[in-house]
């Protein structure tokens, strides 16, 4: 069964600290993996998209990594800001075009 599992479910960090969110997937065949940021009450917004041949991709303070062999991805946030408080969703697109969503990690950045 195609699944996307994220951990931790929730996370609280202090402003300025770094954090890493994890995503494991069993989707096969695999087209690409995306990380989305979803602010409370709003739609998801794309942070990064990676194909199976890409190991890392950065978008400002966000860096995503992908290990297609172990089917694992991570999202690293550097020097967190209060505005980083949101849910982060890992989404895997299969070769058929279907998007499979993880449950998300809720991040809270405290001053």
Nearer of residues 19 and 50 to other proteins, judged by Cβ: 50
How many other β-carbons are positioned within 10 Å of the β-carbon of residue 2?
14
Nearer of residues 62 and 101 to other proteins, judged by Cβ: 101
Compute the distance between CA of residue 70 and CA of residue 95 in angstroms, rounded to an integer.
18
Compute the distance between CA of residue 80 and CA of residue 22 in angstroms, rounded to an integer.
17
Per-residue tokens: 25: 């997937």
Q: Give the nearest distance from C-beta 101 to other proteins in angstroms.
A: 4
- Residues contacting 69, CB < 8 A, separation 6+: none
Nearer of residues 9 and 83 to other proteins, judged by Cβ: 9
Contact status, residue 59 vs residue 49, Cβ threshold 8 Å: no
Between residue 38 and residue 67, which ones bind other proteins under the rule CB under 8 A?
41-46, 49-51
Q: Based on the shown chain and the rule CB under 8 A, indicate whether residue 68 belongs to the binding site for other proteins.
A: no
Instruction: Please count the residues of this chain forming the interface with other proteins, following the rule CB under 8 A.
Output: 24
Q: Give the nearest distance from C-beta 97 to other proteins in angstroms.
A: 3
Q: Give the nearest distance from C-beta 91 to other proteins in angstroms.
A: 8
Pick from 17, 61, 98, 110: which binds other proteins (CB under 8 A)?
A: 98
How many other β-carbons are positioned within 10 Å of the β-carbon of residue 33?
26
């Amino acid at each position: 069964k195609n699944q996307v599992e994220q951990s931790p479910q929730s996370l609280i960090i202090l402003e300025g600290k770094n954090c890493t969110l994890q995503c494991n997937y069993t989707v096969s065949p695999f087209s690409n993996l995306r990380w989305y940021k979803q602010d409370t009450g709003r739609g998801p917004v794309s942070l990064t998209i990676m194909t199976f041949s890409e190991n890392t991709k950065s978008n400002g303070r966000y860096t995503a990594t992908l290990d297609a062999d172990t089917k694992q991805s991570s999202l690293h946030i550097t020097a967190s800001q209060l505005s980083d408080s949101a849910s982060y969703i890992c989404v895997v697109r299969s070769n058929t075009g279907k998007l499979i969503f993880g449950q998300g990690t809720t991040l809270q950045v405290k001053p």
